[in-house]
Homo-oligomer: A and B are copies of this chain.
Amino acid sequence: MDFTLTHAGLVAVEEALVAAIDSEVPLLNDASRHILTSGGKHLRPHIAMLAYLAVGGEDLMDAVPMAAAVEMVHTATLVHDDINDHSLLRRGRPSVHARWGRTFALLTGDYMFAKVYQLMAPYGPAYNVVMANACTQLVEGETLQAVSAKAGEIDRETYKRIVALKTASLFEASARMGALIGGGTPEEVDALADYAYNLGIAFQVVDDILDVIGDPETLGKPVGADLGQGRGAFVAQGERAILSLQPAAEVAVIEEDDPIKRMMAKLRTSGAIEMAQRQAAEMVDRARRALEPIGPSPARDELEALTNLVLERDR
């Protein structure tokens, strides 16, 4: 992805993140820094800043604490997710959970949530309401996913709800807050929020696809992990897709002892991947159309280019 337009802002975001987590308790500092400096894509702050620029915002630094807060929320949920999923690897490094243990991973996630709050506090109520709603929806999405995983079943409607809540809501909030800070009109703010919402859904669907067909080396984490936790929402949908597309008897017999690998092989040959890819392409189309009310600018071009990058990414 091309970060030229937002480069200075993103450098400032990284500095703001590291500064925010500075604590007199060394462990919180170390564990937060470990995950925050592990080479995340910074896609949410990037979108927040492009939205800011696309409505004519002139000083990217105005959006820095908010963009840092958005990245902090995302990172905090990764730390807590890795506890619940027993994930040992994250972005090619040991997860906080693996390195510091469950108790400290839980506290590190809590600490980062408190820091989100601290970064956002100086903005007024309008922004904090948007952020609070996004945080709420994010946790609701994670919970709905865990409930479905536990029940061992998921339907397409629930899958969509999960993706909207756990991923699209924070994408949407990022663009909405960026456009608000940049002084966008209500129409522009809504358009950019709509764009980011749809992009977020596409992003998550691609993420779920990569868990099945991605390259572990490129991803920096094992594939099949979500499958292994019975939690990958797409995967569950894929299973259902297998069942609906092919009578049970016709499902190819896969020579594979490991049940996870067997399920992955089944998904690859079932047409479920292609179905999900079509779904992601459809959401990306919607994201692109949502940009119509936004006047031409390099930032708008970059937002448009981003849709293809999200669709074609391999990590």
Contact = CB atoms under 8 A, between A and B. Distances in A.
Interface of A: 23-25, 27-28, 77, 80, 83-84, 102-104, 106-107, 109-111, 113-118, 120-125, 128-129, 131-133, 135-136, 138-140, 142-144, 146-147
A118 B129 contact: yes
Contact of A28 (B83, B111, B135, B143): B143
A170 to B, nearest CB: 12
B121 A128 contact: yes
A113 B111 contact: no
A107 B139 contact: yes
A152 B143 CA distance: 35
Contact of A111 (B111, B117, B128, B139): B139
A76 to B, nearest CB: 8
A123 B122 contact: no
3 tightest A-B CB contacts, nearest first: A121-B128, A114-B135, A118-B132
A25 B104 contact: no
A3 B113 CA distance: 33
Nearest to A134: B114
Given A106-B80, A113-B113, A125-B123, A118 B136 contact: yes
A103 B146 contact: yes
B143 A114 contact: no
A25 B158 CA distance: 11
Contacts of A106: 80, 83-84, 106
Given A106-B106, A110-B113, A113-B113, A25 B84 contact: no
Contacts of A139: 28, 107, 110-111, 114
B84 A103 contact: yes
A125 B80 CA distance: 28
B104 A146 contact: yes
Q: Which of A27, A107, A116 has the most CB of B within 10 A?
A: A107
A129 B119 CA distance: 9
